[in-house]
Amino acid sequence: MSAIDATFEILRSQGRKAFLPFVTAGDPNLEFTGKVLKELVARGANVCELGIPYSDPIADGPVIQASYTRVLDQKQKLSDILQAAQAWTTELTAPVVSMVSYSIIHRQGLENYVAKAKAAGIAGAIVPDLLVEESGEFSEICRREDFSLIQLVTPTTPPDRALRICETSTGFLYFVSVTGITGVRTELPPEVVDQVGWLKERTELPICIGFGISKPEHVRMLAPVADGLIVGSAIVRKIAQVEEKGEEAVLAEIGTLVDELTSAMTS
């Protein structure tokens, strides 16, 4: 059983939903990323997503794209991120998963990437550009190593394909709430509730919903059907203001946002 499996098993036994925040590794620097992760876990995050900057965005909106660019401009390397993560994860009580392009994994070597990530205390990988037709080998490696492979289902994924994605995924399934890219939105499509409900009847995997979630009303709408909710751009946007506002002010704002969203999960 992976750390992600264990986390969701505990949450389900308690009738609770997971809160999964996303941060970009190294924005504006690795030291501050560690501080943000500690703050998020202290505020109740159950699983933290750590974005590995990549030069060719897959489904990332302008906020996350900009954060990746800031890190890449610093010539930050994967080895630097994993070394820092090894220190963070020893102090965090919630598991960390990497959001990473399959190009990076492939370049490292599938088994090598899993070994390095596990050595850094990372519990799994969200791989948004891994086609289900090409996921067999990596899925087998991840299952063997108890390393969660989290794949994405979108509102336009055909039902039969969605079920194939469930079969090769472990840990949880990432359900994209909207068609398009990541980013803060004023409204989410109401049909996502029915789409997730249909999928929950056909898989035992926890289903976590992401893209566009930034307000308590989004959380109240989706929490009844989801096993967890993912928030990224709303947090990354605040991190982008560190130079202007200072670290302590930004950490406080992030904490307030998390409190508002997690409170809505139980209201």
| Beta strand residue intervals within the chain, DSSP E | 18-24, 48-51, 96-99, 122-126, 148-150, 152-153, 173-176, 207-210, 228-231
pLDDT tens, position by position, 125-178:
999 999 999 999 999 999 999 999 999 999 889 999 999 999 999 999 999 976
β-partners of residue 51 are 24, 99
- Average pLDDT for residues 176-191, to the nearest whole number? 56
* 180 burial level (CB within 10 Å; 0-12, 13-18, 19+): middle
Residue 62 confidence class, pLDDT cut points 50, 70, 90:
confident
* Structural domain that includes position 39: 3-265
Q: Name 257's Cβ contacts closer than 8 Å, sequence gap at least 6.
A: 231, 234, 235, 238
| Gap between the Cα atoms of 24 and 5, Å rounded | 23
If one counts every other C-beta atom within 10 angstroms of the C-beta of residue 259, the result is 12
| Gap between the Cα atoms of 255 and 215, Å rounded | 14
- Residue 225 sits in a domain whose CATH number is 3.20.20.70
* Range 247-251, long-range pairs (CB < 8 A, 24+ positions): 247/32, 247/35, 251/35, 251/36, 251/39
| Gap between the Cα atoms of 75 and 13, Å rounded | 44
pLDDT of residue 129: 93
Structure tokens at 67: 């954060």
Instruction: Tell which phi-psi region holds residue 203, choosing left (phi > 0), alpha (psi between -120 and 50) or beta.
Output: beta
Query: In this structure, are residues 4 and 95 in contact, taking their beta carbons and an 8 Å threshold?
Result: yes
- Average pLDDT for residues 200-215, to the nearest whole number? 92
Q: Which candidate, 185, 151, 190, 187, places its Cα nearest to that of 168? A: 151
| Gap between the Cα atoms of 64 and 24, Å rounded | 8
With tokens 């029915």, the residue in question is 194
Residue 183: pLDDT over 70:
no
Q: Name 181's Cβ contacts closer than 8 Å, sequence gap at least 6.
A: 57, 59, 60, 61, 211
Residue 98 confidence class, pLDDT cut points 50, 70, 90:
very high
Task: Work out the mean pLDDT of the chain and round it to a whole number.
Answer: 92
β-partners of residue 23 are 50
The model carries a pTM of: 0.92
Residue 181 confidence class, pLDDT cut points 50, 70, 90:
very low
| Gap between the Cα atoms of 62 and 65, Å rounded | 5
Residues with active-site annotation: 49, 60
Q: Which candidate, 117, 224, 126, 132, places its Cα nearest to that of 176? A: 126
- Average pLDDT for residues 88-113, to the nearest whole number? 97
Q: What is the DSSP string of 183-209?
A: ---S---THHHHHHHHHHTT--S-EEE
Q: How many domains does the chain have?
A: 1
pLDDT of residue 92: 97
